[in-house]
């Protein structure tokens, strides 16, 4: 099975994708993480993507579709995978059908209001050393602005600056929100509330996934 997490920036897709990976053994494919790693390493891909990412705009479909095509062919993705941050345009969704169209899929959109998103994104920090994500609001980070996992320095993501956040939310409404209808028409769309703690959101997602997995097992038996 493939799980696609939809939702605006700051809705918690990355955090929830990690939890799905852990509990259901579905490897996470995060196009944002792959691109950020490429930018940090200064690869040709990173150089191409960096300017768009800094402005909160989408990197070209060709680039991200190429990344996903490569990732889904890995042996570890044979049983399935969870997509975080892809697809983000109708053209990417159509490409996914071409790349791996026979796989069953479930799309879960995490719904959350704009005010809460802006609050979360401005509080979000990433550890410069281990890349763990934390929130200044969740609990006082150890020693002020230090990572609770490894003690590294916490930093604000370049695209979590207020002016870029506004642009990313605009891009989501214009280019990604139309995917709802695409997946509704394919009968694979569900949504849950993104309010509350990460544990609360994950228990809503798990509830949905358990239903899908037992439905799939029923289907195989009959
Ligand atoms: P994310 O971490 O998913 O919020 O992604 C950070 C940034 O990476 C986005 O604002 C885009 O610039 C770029 N990006 C990530 N995934 C995609 C995608 N599927 N299509 C285009 N650009 C993407």
Locate 28 and state its tokens: 């996470």
DSSP 8-state symbol, 58: P
Closest CA to 67 of 56, 83, 51, 89: 83
Q: Assign 203 a pLDDT band (cuts: 50, 70, 90).
A: very high
Ligand 1 atom closest to Cα of residue 84: 3
- The verdict on the CB of residue 10 being under 6 Å from ligand 1 is no
- The verdict on the CB of residue 86 being under 6 Å from ligand 1 is yes
Q: What is the pTM of this model?
A: 0.92
Answer yes or no: is pLDDT of 219 > 80.
no
Q: Assign 139 a pLDDT band (cuts: 50, 70, 90).
A: low
- Please give the pLDDT value at position 19: 97
DSSP 62-109: HHHHHHHHHHHTSGGGSS-EEEES---SHHHHHHHHHHHTTS-EEEEE
- Please give the pLDDT value at position 220: 64
Mean pLDDT of the chain: 93
What is the separation, in whole angstroms, between the first and last Cα of the chain?
18
Half-sphere exposure of 29 (CA within 13 A, CB side): 24
Report the residue among 86, 88, 96, 164 best suited for mutation to probe ligand 1: largest number of ligand atoms under 8 A from its CB: 88
Ligand 1 atom closest to Cα of residue 60: 21
Q: Assign 221 a pLDDT band (cuts: 50, 70, 90).
A: low
Contact between 147 and 154 (Cβ < 8 Å):
yes
Report the residue among 58, 92, 168 best suited for mutation to probe ligand 1: largest number of ligand atoms under 8 A from its CB: 58
CA 80 to ligand 1 centroid distance, Å: 21
HEC string of 132-154 equals CEEECCCCCCCCCCECCCCCCEE
Q: How far apart are CA 134 and CA 124, in angstroms?
A: 6
- Please give the pLDDT value at position 39: 95
Handedness of CA 175, 180, 120, 158 (dihedral sign): negative
Ligand 1 atom closest to Cα of residue 171: 10
The residue nearest atom 1 of ligand 1, judged by CA position, is 32
- The verdict on the CB of residue 32 being under 6 Å from ligand 1 is yes
Locate 114 and state its tokens: 């704009």
Locate 55 and state its tokens: 């402005």
- Per-residue pLDDT of 94-116, as tens digits, reads 999 999 999 999 999 999 998 99
- The verdict on the CB of residue 64 being under 6 Å from ligand 1 is yes
Q: How far apart are CA 26 and CA 41, in angstroms?
A: 26
- The verdict on the CB of residue 52 being under 6 Å from ligand 1 is yes
Q: Assign 181 a pLDDT band (cuts: 50, 70, 90).
A: very high
Ligand 1 atom closest to Cα of residue 52: 12
């Amino acid at each position: 099975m493939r799980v696609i997490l939809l939702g605006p920036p700051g809705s918690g897709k990355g955090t929830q994708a990690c939890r799905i990976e852990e509990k259901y053994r579905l490897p996470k494919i995060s196009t944002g993480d792959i691109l950020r790693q490429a930018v940090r390493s200064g690869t040709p891909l990173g150089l191409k993507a960096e300017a768009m990412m800094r402005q909160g705009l989408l990197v070209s479909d060709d680039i991200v579709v190429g990344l996903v095509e490569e990732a889904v062919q890995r042996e570890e993705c044979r049983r399935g995978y969870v997509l975080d941050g892809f697809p983000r345009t109708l053209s990417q969704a159509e490409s996914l059908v071409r790349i791996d169209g026979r796989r069953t899929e479930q799309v879960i959109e995490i719904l959350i209001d704009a005010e809460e998103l802006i609050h979360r994104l401005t509080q979000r920090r990433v550890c410069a050393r281990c890349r763990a994500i934390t929130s200044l609001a969740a609990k006082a980070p150890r020693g002020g602005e230090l990572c609770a996992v490894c003690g590294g320095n916490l930093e604000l993501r370049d695209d979590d600056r207020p002016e870029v956040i506004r642009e990313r939310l605009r891009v989501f409404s214009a280019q990604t929100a139309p995917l709802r209808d695409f997946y509704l028409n394919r009968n694979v769309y569900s949504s849950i509330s993104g309010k509350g703690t990460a544990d609360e959101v994950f228990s809503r997602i798990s509830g949905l996934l358990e239903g899908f997995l037992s439905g799939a097992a029923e289907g195989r038996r009959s």
